[in-house]
C-alpha cells in the first residue's frame, strides 16, 4: 500500500509541475526546429569537409 500511495503522490506532483510549464507557441516551435535543423546541416557539412581533407592528407602521408 505504501508503494501505491507514493506513486499517487508522485503523479500529483508531476501534474502540478506540468501546470507551471510555459509551453512554446506553434510558431516558436517551428522556428526553433528550423534553427536546429539548419545548424545540424551546417555542422555536418563542416565536419564532412574536415574529414575529407584530413583523409586525403593522411593518404598522401602514407604513400
Q: What's the first-to-final CA gap in the chain, in angstroms?
A: 72
Q: Kindly state the average pLDDT of the residues 30-55.
A: 98
C-alpha cell of 44?
555536418
> What is the share, in percent, of the chain residues with pLDDT greater than 90?
95
Please check whether residue 42 lies inside any domain of the structure: yes
Please check whether residue 7 lies inside any domain of the structure: no
Please check whether residue 58 lies inside any domain of the structure: yes
pLDDT digits (tens, 9 = 90+) for 20-39: 999 999 999 999 999 999 99
Enter the pTM of the model: 0.67
Please check whether residue 17 lies inside any domain of the structure: no
Please check whether residue 54 lies inside any domain of the structure: yes
Please check whether residue 6 lies inside any domain of the structure: no
Domains in the chain: how many in total? 1
CA distances from 57 to 21, 43, 47, 48, 60 (A): 51, 21, 15, 14, 5
Residue range of the domain that includes 40: 24-63
Please check whether residue 45 lies inside any domain of the structure: yes
Amino acid at each position: 500500500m505504501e508503494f501505491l500511495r507514493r506513486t499517487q503522490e508522485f503523479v500529483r506532483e508531476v501534474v502540478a509541475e506540468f501546470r507551471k510549464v510555459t509551453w512554446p507557441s506553434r510558431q516558436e516551435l517551428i522556428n526553433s526546429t528550423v534553427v536546429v535543423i539548419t545548424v545540424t546541416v551546417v555542422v555536418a557539412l563542416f565536419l564532412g569537409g574536415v574529414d575529407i581533407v584530413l583523409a586525403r592528407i593522411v593518404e598522401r602521408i602514407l604513400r
